[in-house]
Amino acid sequence: MQFCEILTAHQVSVAGEQEGVVATKAEALLRLATLLAAGVSTGVNGRELRGPSGPTEEIARVLVERERLQSTGVGGGVAIPHGVLEGAERQVGAVLLCPRSIDFEAIDGAPVSILCAVIGPTRATGEHLKMLARISRLLRDAGFRERLLAARNGKVAFEMIVAEERRGVS
């Protein structure tokens, strides 16, 4: 499965004037949770995930708990926040591009500009790990990262991800 298969253009955002600047790790995780919530189609612990704050808060909690274990900033200006969600039916992805890099406590100490998040069901650990590896391979090319970060909006960035995956890079 490719990353673009768990992603839609509505789950890709470029932080800035139109979408609002993201200045901190906490703000980035909340924005990613909001984007992920748009793609979640199931309930958690008997609660419906659709709605103005329910899914976002639950997903944000999962992402923050994962970050407490160790930063998902993998280096090269990239972070891959991820986690599992009780009751989720499938994996969902989101991308947040931050032209104004943020401190994410990345492994290389460098600020982060590209954040790709994944949330998935607890029963699909293997699929989850494969998706994280796929995202890592997709973003290992510095040229692609630069082009992606220059995208003027989420739709353009989504189309770039689709095209890159079709090229067979990941």
Domains by residue range for the chain, with CATH: 3-166 (3.40.930.10)
Element (H, E) at 116: strand 112-120
For residue 167, the model assigns a pLDDT of 87
- How many Å apart are CA 48 and CA 15, to the nearest integer? 28
pLDDT at 143 over 90: yes
Q: Which of 82, 128, 134, 145 is catalytic?
A: 82
> Is the pLDDT at 77 greater than 60, yes or no?
yes
pTM: 0.90
Asked whether residue 17 carries a pLDDT value surpassing 70, the answer given is no
Q: Residue 23 carries which DSSP code? A: -
What count of other Cβ atoms lies within 10 Å of the Cβ of residue 25? 21
Residue 82 a catalytic site member: yes
Give CA separation, 63 vs 96, 112, 145, in Å. 14, 16, 23
pLDDT-derived band at 169, boundaries 50, 70, 90:
low
